[in-house]
Structure 1
């Protein structure tokens, strides 16, 4: 589904991603883990077209070269990013935030079906659909951000740090919901600081370190890798 080949990304003169390679197969949940500054969020922003990959990079999704496309075109291809920090529109209602997630879609019946799907996944949003998004709790805003991304009916859902800033009980709830979304057939690329939780629900894992892929493999394999355990899982 998604193939990344020699992807390089720069912030001015800073070489943030240094020729990384990885892939995501249809139906998988793949996680990217690593310390702050490793390049995880940069990877998602580059795939989404928010940042431009350097010349020679290859980002191929369903046979299409994303490096030649704008961010709106990439969204229309079915690649949707749920950004770090949630980034909901605080003065708009929950319902209007969700509606904006479907701005590329035209079929009113399908959009209505997506509303039903999101509200089934996140019943709390139903109770608050007329409420301003800025008045929601952090956990509710995260649910809204994921729901808004799902309104595009993505083929690939990219989640950037969905557990950031949440209380432990809400982290468990969010991960349970991510697991359910995946179980229902959505392919997911997950960036997550909480490596323990990410590896428990992922099929495969890539470990980024200073803009390069240091390890990759089956998620269970990574949980048992001594170097990964010591550096990212808090185990000796």
Structure 2
């Protein structure tokens, strides 16, 4: 495994009185795609929201590039180089594609690099370039997902967190999104992927963790978990 860029150490997160994440330990190596799979309610999105500061852990450390993020604000964490593309896309529906992307770069001042990143996003997502003046609510589901990922990339992240990027998409678009995830990795971005399509996630990921009721129960390479009998029965339809 490459040197970790992000580590979770005994992280515990609560929703009110509900203990949603229970002492998890994870390492994400620089330049890796790491998948986090599990059933609904396992704590996957809670884990991502804790990393980016939308939720605060009650116990534990989140170490990024030598810094503990547990006491940083969400805005500070984005500036440090971690960005979340949320479940459900959450694009700004009445703004254009271009303006959605512009908001992704709101923490940045480097105008030349921002202009270069527009080009990078449009080369990754040519469909967005074709629709850059179109308002986001008129895009298809797949196009909105591309826009959500593109907006996250406009923050110039070192680590990109993707929460259910294939949710609700047709099989052809699912394949396209996973191809794009591999392309983003080639740009040098580290990716932590939460995904219900466990088969595609494990095929794409360098390594993966299985989360069950807030606890990590298995970890290994994507290939190892694809052939694990317990994973196959629980998440892959025993194929």
SS of alignment partner, residue 145 of structure 2: helix
- Root-mean-square deviation (Å): 0.7
Q: Separation in 2 of the partners of 1:222 and 1:158?
A: 21
TM-score by length of 2: 0.97
Residue 163 of structure 1 pairs with residue 150 of structure 2:
no
Deviations 1:146-200, CA, capped at 9 Å, x for gaps: 0000001100000000000101111111111011111221100000000000011
CA contact (8 A) 2:56 2:71 kept: no
Q: Separation in 2 of the partners of 1:36 and 1:59?
A: 23
How many residues get paired? 235
Q: Which runs of 5+ in 2 are unaligned?
A: none
**Superposed, which structure 2 residues align to 1:27-106 within 5 Å?**
27-54=31-58, 56-106=59-109
Structure 2 partner of 1:218? 221
SS of alignment partner, residue 20 of structure 1: strand
Q: Which runs of 5+ in 1 are unaligned?
A: none
| 1:231 aligned residue (228, 231, 234) | 234
Residue 181 of structure 1 pairs with residue 179 of structure 2:
no
**Superposed, which structure 2 residues align to 1:116-155 within 5 Å?**
116-155=119-158
Q: Separation in 1 of the partners of 2:33 and 2:168?
A: 22
Comparing 183-192 with 81-90, greater Cα deviation is found at: 183-192
Deviations 1:192-232, CA, capped at 9 Å, x for gaps: 00000001110000000000001001111101111011101
Find runs of 4+ consecutive structure 1 residues off by over 3 angstroms. Answer: none
TM-score by length of 1: 0.98
| 2:175 aligned residue (161, 172, 176) | 172
Q: Separation in 2 of the partners of 1:184 and 1:113?
A: 13
SS of alignment partner, residue 224 of structure 2: helix
Q: Separation in 1 of the partners of 2:146 and 2:236?
A: 26
SS of alignment partner, residue 183 of structure 2: helix
Q: Separation in 2 of the partners of 1:31 and 1:43?
A: 12
SS of alignment partner, residue 78 of structure 2: helix
SS of alignment partner, residue 4 of structure 1: strand
SS of alignment partner, residue 57 of structure 1: strand
